Amino acid sequence: MLTRQQAWALIALTLMWGLNWPIMKLSLQELTPLYFRASTMMLGAMWLFVYFHRKGLRMWPKGNEWWLIIGLGIPNILGWHTMSVMGVSLLPSGRSAILGFTMPIYTVLFGALLFKQPLTKRAGLAVACVFATIGLLTWHELTNISGNPAGILWMEGAALSWALGTLLMRRVPFDLRPEALTVWMMLLSSLVIWALAITLEPVTSIATFSGQMWFTLVYAVIFNYGYAQVIWFGMARNLPPATSAMSIMAVPVIGTITATFIVGEVPHWQDLLAMVFGVTAIAAVLMPPRKVKTS
């Protein structure tokens, strides 16, 4: 059972992750995707470094740990965060959240293909639901004159990258604390994204930013890359599987609902049905099976 403090922390974490999608969309009205991602990720990683260092954690990698950070950082941080922000720039934020959170299902599929993990009937149901989710949202994008199916490819690429990174994190041994590993993956990835932004995107003057824009930047740095990570690391080891699954399932739902109020995105019936399929898929692969009582 969760304590009251853990329950409130989990609610806060889920809200921060869910709200991040429409707030990120709001920021992209004034700042290009790669500059937004590079700046917020770097600043968020810097204050996390200070926070965890003050907590007494070993934050400086040694020897081959640098190669570990690079190898795990490419799919876990660089791939997921770069492709997802590109997807959000082309799609409604709620739709992006639904597509992005197909990642647990791809983890199961990669596990079966690469590591010969068995596929259960629940995994088969999850795959069918994911195909239904993608089909519904692709159908709407292709039939909508302002639709952009390229955004779907970006989001599914992000989900695939995250899934591969998750499998590697589970199977590659390392002595560095996960907090330090994550911070350095963020720092190094932000340098790569900075290079991409400078090369590919026009420079935007911060003097033109509105108060709304500054709010979204502060939210991304302090909450999405800050407090959410602190809460997650503080709870991840003690969180029951069913509870973590419920949190992950709630994120795209919150993202879709709050997008209506934050950026004025009214979900279509395809979005709502796709959300149902997506949540069902996540539940199928993450919720632990019920134990059968024996007499």
Any domain includes 15: no
Question: Domain of 277?
Answer: 29-286
Task: Assign 166 a pLDDT band (cuts: 50, 70, 90).
Answer: confident
CA angle centred on 158, ends 247 and 137, rounded to 5°: 80
Does residue 285 have a pLDDT over 80? no
Residue 154 CB-half CA count within 13 A: 20
Inter-residue contact 110 to 200 (CB < 8 Å): no
Confidence at residue 145, expressed as pLDDT on a 0 to 100 scale:
47
CA–CA separation, 78 vs 258, rounded Å? 27
Position 252: which residue type? P
Backbone phi and psi for residue 26, each to the nearest 5 degrees, phi listed first: -65, -40
Which pTM value belongs to this model? 0.87
CA separation (Å) from 117 to 56, 112, 180, 254, 262? 38, 4, 29, 32, 41
40 within some domain: yes
Please state the domain count of the chain.
1
134 assigned to some structural domain: yes
Nearest residue to 176 via CA among 45, 69, 54: 69
DSSP string, 165-226: HHHHHHHS---S-HHHHHHHHHHHHHHHHHHHHHHHS----GGG--HHHHHHHHIIIIIIII
The answer to whether residue 107 sits within a structural domain is yes
Kindly report, residue by residue over 172-213, the tens digit of the pLDDT.
888 889 899 999 999 999 999 999 999 999 988 888 899 999
Mean pLDDT of the chain: 86
